Structure 1
Amino acid sequence: MKLGYLFPGQGTVRVGMGGWLRRRPVARDRLDLVDALLDRPISPLCARGPLDRLVATEHAQVAVTACNLAALAVLAEEGHAPAVVAGHSVGELSALHAAGVLALADTVRLVETRARLMAAVGERGGMRAVMGLPVERVEELAEAAGAPGEPVVVALENAPGHVVVSGSPYALDRLTALATDASKVVPLQVGNAFHSPLMAPALPGWAAAVRAAAMREPRVPVVPNVTGEPTTDVATLREALIGQLTGRVLWTRTVAAVDAFASGVEVGDSKVLTGLSRRAEARCLSMSDPATLRRLAKAVAA
């Protein structure tokens, strides 16, 4: 049975995250190692909050990555290995580590850098999920709602009927008023307009950090967010990682690429990607489900 590892992003953080992982020695060791690599340990904030600090960009990206890496260690201990990997937004860095492209310390360092640079942009915008509309219709709404100095774009193609827009608060309000044919428009609890032109101030520092990082040829294909196509080319992976800071996350296409030749496993402490995969009629199990490891063991044995 071939497995496709899917790593969640920062929208999955919550107080108490990683609790089940700390009951596994190998995962606890990995969480402790990540804490040791950070300027400030993230585990206490994951365990006890407060939520407003945990969801802040500079903490959320590190928190979800720590859980992703701990869950990856559990799968390795169980004898599993991926045939293909992908990660949602900041989760792409976890995927690159799982594929052998980035060493653990470099992964943690890049995530910490990404979070710091994005947080330093300041609160310039937000994000909203537009439910029940195809991406083409949401693109029309974004074009109609945008204005000079007040952009709004499609940021995440998460699943059929689940599109996230990102941009200026004023443009987001106009888009919400125009989207009378949507089943609902939901504001997301994020600190800024990620995957939009408003992240451009962070791009030079991020590009410099990514280009300076040591990257090795991947052991398995990686599906970058901005292409949705599997690749083993290091130069492509490097440029895709830079581009996704302001570029669109093509998650629907990414899930389809993984599902074409592997069964998905959401590697972390989240069920969000599992839900999105099911909306796209793709196979996926969440490691947050206690039954998942037993199911994987049975499937491999069969």
Structure 2
Amino acid sequence: MQVINGTMNLKLQEGSHGIVVKNLYLSCDPYMRSRMTRVEGPNVFTSYSPGSPLTGFGVAKVLDSGHPNFKKGDLIWGTTSWEEYSLITVLEGLFKIEHTDVPLSYYTGILGMPGLTAYAGFYEVCSPKKGEYVFISAASGAVGQLVGQFAKLMGCYVVGSAGSKEKVDLLRNKFGFDEAFNYKEETDLVGALKRSVSSSLFLSVTWYFPEGIDIYFENVGGEMLDAVLLNMKDHGRISVCGQVSQYNILDQPEGVQNLMCLIYKRIHMKGFVVFDYYNIYPKFLDVMLPYIREGKIMYVEDIAEGLESGPAALVGLYSGRNVGKQVVLFARE
């Protein structure tokens, strides 16, 4: 793919084993912030290069292919660039989209990286059991909303935290969480997680975790993680997916004070990255597609239109402006 006399040539050069794609949907994900900082030492992601397009997950259509696994017209999801057309030469981690009876944008979310992250982090890392008590931070986001619904389908008691009344209402009324709260309204997160309140003898009790948390799906870090550690049950499990509260802290990230809980409560805390679970993607699809088609799992997207809206959409993640999975619609097929 090259520009000749001011005209873009969308054909591959002879001998290339890459693909040329037209980008359709681009995914805004919290981890992208960490790629804007130069990181020394080993890291899962490389830092972005100034002057080059951002790279991230997206959905695209193949225009030309030099690889036997892809042909012109195929729809794919995986790592692409924030630009109209991309030449992709690293094809590992690209997935061909075979099921188009669901929205294509779902492959940036519920059927893409966030969906697989939620599935692997909950089922593979946390090993949940029916009746356990599950807490999810950033629970209305692309990953959190799915973890909560997985937990409910297993018969767990589920509470989520979010940053606005609108998001809390979504958790309770659309995603079926047992309870939810706005962390911005809480001055004592440790106490909030223990809460057991009844405003009347005739009204049901509002309670979170007076007896402790079995599973915490960690998306936030900082003060929330510190509060959760004090509220974990013995032998509880924490799946560490992200720490969005820390990504924009330019100096020293907030220290977590309660790590001794890991020892005396014998807590299993494990970080993971989605790439480690790409091998179970077919199994994941076998579970998720019926859930979606049968309406057993709901999903909310926040779609911004046009590449020019992408920067504001990405920045908005870090102040919680989005409601649901943040997607940029770049082009339709």
Measured against the shorter chain, the TM-score band is under 0.3
Q: TM-score, normalised by structure 1?
A: 0.26
Q: Which has the higher strand share?
A: 2
Higher relative CO (Cα under 8 Å, sequence separation at least 6) belongs to 1
Choose 1 or 2 for highest CA Rg. 2
Q: TM-score, normalised by structure 2?
A: 0.24
